[in-house]
Structure 1
Amino acid sequence: MISQVAQTKEAISEKRVQILQLDEEFLEKVLSDLQNIRSQIAELEEQEVAAQDRLKRIDIRAPQSGYVHQLNVHTVGGVIAPGDTLMLVVPEDSDLVIESRVQPVDVDQLQVGQDAYVRLAAFDQRTTPELGAAVLNVSPDLTRDEVTGEPFYLARLKILESEMPKLNGQTLVPGMPVEGFIQTGERTVLSYFIKPMQDQIAHALKEK
């Protein structure tokens, strides 16, 4: 009887050991499966990020609405290299800025806020007057013309808001040719009488 009790206890102990071993094996398997699942999730997340990036690049969107200027790609299905410029977009609601070339010998006479005036070459000069403007900034270094190689400074002008009614409803469009003149000295009283006649003669010669 005593021997049977001892055998039973030994069998119970063995079963407990087996249960512990099974628990450890099960836990190891669960941890292994969990690690594999985590690796698969990380891989799928990377694939999702890559897919979202490709999806975003299917449609090209500008950060704000505007006018397309200087479109460089005209083919359907063409390959675009990284860093290539597709087009320039002029914001619809932004202030139009006039870019004017300044001779290097004259740049020392320019300063921000200086008075200027512009002529809109696209409009009828007989009905569209000169518009007052101001110098916004001047480029800090020389720029060279890509064709002629001639050096110049780039001055940016802005038409004064008080001058806009003189357009009589005509619309300014990006890329429109404009003649900009920056006043670097005082105009004499005589020049106010002579200048209109000079302008008429100059434009008459151009028309011929």
Structure 2
Amino acid sequence: MNDSTQLMTDNNRLIKRATIFLLLSLGLFAAWTWFAKLDSAAIASGIVIVESKRKSIEHLEGGIVAQVYVREGQKVEKGAPLIKISDITFQSRLKQTQLTWISRQIEYQRLLAERDDLARYVPSIDKVQFPHLALEIDTLIANQRSLFTSRMDMRTKELDIVDSRLKQTRNRRAFSSQMLAQRKQALEFLNDEIDMHDQLLAEGFTSRLKLLELKRSEVLLVSDIISVQAELDGQILSVSELEQQKSAIKQRNRSEVETQIAEVRNALITLEAELNLAKDVQARTVVKSPASGVVLGLKVNAAGEVVGAGESLMEIVPDNDSLIVEAIINPTDIDVVRIGQQALIRLSAFNFRTTPPVQGEVVYIDADRTNSDGEELSGFKVKVKLNSQEISNNPDLELYPGMPAEVYVLLEEKRPLDYLLEPLKVSLLRAFRES
């Protein structure tokens, strides 16, 4: 009886202890789920890339490859020549444009000399700038100088004809003016003589016939004066007309030259634009590296190959640019990921046990879902900037573009209770919806 009582007492004590332990455990678990804070993160896979991405090398016009200066994997400096495109066509086009521009420039200077009535035409073309066109320039200058001389001679002859007629008319005008003055003076003398004979006739010292002869001479002299005056008026008018004709010839010539100057000036503006374009095309025949880096994906290997306009020739992976991680975030996590959030990056190429994760910061989030390698829509692209200080402090952590990485975007801390209640909340939310 005592043994049974003792056994029951021991069992009760054991049950009590177990109950107390269970209650304490439940209490501790409840306290842990309520007060403890657990880190949460949105996980995404990604790769290390250059911040400004690879530089695709293309040629705008395309053509035949003349020389390849680099090989796959070669390190190049910024501005280093990569490929030379055959410039025979471009050089011919540039030469023709230069020749047309020089021709128009020489013509423009000749027209200015004509407009300003210069005695000589002296073009100012710097042959040193165009040593390959020296012979053509000499020919163009000779042609324009000959044209200048012939045009000036023709203009001079035309004006000389008018000047000759003007001189003759002025001489006749002077002669007529002199004759008119003489006739008027003779008329004055004749009038005096008539007055004298009138007085003598009244006194009976002369005959009436003599007086009539004098008056007849007066009438003839007046008629002659009228005729000379008419000739003089016509000659004065002719001089005025010839002077106007001379001015009109000069104005016509100047107007023609001004019109040609305006046309040539407009042509020069167009040609200068074409010349700059031709020089730019010529300069681009040597494709240069836009940045220091490594040649990757070289598609041209030897001279003679033909490349199309805008065709990618190679890529340059910059070596002085910042490295970032580009990853794809699951669409279900995009609502909790924000620019500026902290992240941890584990580099898959390194041992997880010896290489700690690198801190980073979300610097970019795509506005829409994106394709992953041409597959179906898979998520939102994000970019995470690595902490450069951590990388520089770890000399063994040498990063290369293309390295795989896992990104953990740190979210708000949550209690364990929140994780436990989350499925229940979702179930209740769905349970109260009509089917």
TM range (shorter): 0.5 to 0.7
Supply the distance in 1 between the matched residues of 2:376 and 2:323 (Cα, whole angstroms).
Answer: 27
Indicate which of 253, 256, 269 corresponds to 1:29: 256
DSSP 3-state at the match of 2:407: strand
Q: 1:70–1:149: structure 2 CA closer, same or farther, 3 Å change rule?
A: farther
Match of 2:307 in 1: 78
Per-residue CA deviations over 1:68-100 (Å, capped at 9, x if unaligned) read 68758547440124xx66666565544321112
| 1:129–1:166 contact (8 Å) kept in structure 2 | no
Match of 1:192 in 2: none
Match runs of 1:133-152 below 5 Å: 133-152=360-379
| 2:300–2:313 contact (8 Å) kept in structure 1 | no
Per-residue CA deviations over 1:3-53 (Å, capped at 9, x if unaligned) read 498276456445423322322232233223323322332332242243244
Supply the distance in 2 between the matched residues of 1:35 and 1:135 (Cα, whole angstroms).
Answer: 61
Q: How far did 1:150 drift?
A: 4.8
Indicate which of 399, 405, 424 corresponds to 1:172: 399
Supply the distance in 2 between the matched residues of 1:27 and 1:124 (Cα, whole angstroms).
Answer: 88
What is the number of residues matched between the two proteins? 185
Indicate which of 132, 156, 159 corresponds to 2:386: 159
Percent identity, aligned pairs only, is 24
Question: What letter is aligned with 1:168?
Answer: P
Counterpart check, 1:65 vs 2:294: no
| 2:296–2:317 contact (8 Å) kept in structure 1 | no
Per-residue CA deviations over 1:55-80 (Å, capped at 9, x if unaligned) read 45435567x62546875854744012
Match of 2:245 in 1: 18
Asked which structure has the greater RCO (Cα within 8 Å, sep 6+), the reply is 2
| 1:128–1:166 contact (8 Å) kept in structure 2 | no
Indicate which of 266, 274, 277 corresponds to 1:39: 266
DSSP 3-state at the match of 1:113: coil
| 1:68–1:87 contact (8 Å) kept in structure 2 | no
Q: 1:45–1:181: structure 2 CA closer, same or farther, 3 Å change rule?
A: same
Match of 2:325 in 1: 98
Larger Rg: 2
Match of 2:345 in 1: 118
Supply the distance in 2 between the matched residues of 1:97 and 1:45 (Cα, whole angstroms).
Answer: 45
Question: What letter is aligned with 1:40?
Answer: A
Per-residue CA deviations over 1:126-185 (Å, capped at 9, x if unaligned) read 543222223233323211223442511222222224422453254322222222223446
Question: What letter is aligned with 2:383?
Answer: R
- In structure 1, the gaps of 5 or more residues are 189-208
Match of 1:193 in 2: none
Q: 1:91–1:187: structure 2 CA closer, same or farther, 3 Å change rule?
A: farther
Q: 1:105–1:154: structure 2 CA closer, same or farther, 3 Å change rule?
A: same
Q: 1:35–1:154: structure 2 CA closer, same or farther, 3 Å change rule?
A: closer
Which protein is richer in helix relative to its size? 2
Supply the distance in 2 between the matched residues of 1:8 and 1:163 (Cα, whole angstroms).
Answer: 106
TM-score by structure 1 length?
0.65
Question: What letter is aligned with 2:291?
Answer: S
TM-score by structure 2 length?
0.35
Q: 1:37–1:80: structure 2 CA closer, same or farther, 3 Å change rule?
A: closer
Indicate which of 131, 135, 139 corresponds to 2:358: 131
Question: What letter is aligned with 1:79?
Answer: G
DSSP 3-state at the match of 1:116: strand
Supply the distance in 2 between the matched residues of 1:43 and 1:140 (Cα, whole angstroms).
Answer: 45
Supply the distance in 1 between the matched residues of 2:292 and 2:342 (Cα, whole angstroms).
Answer: 29
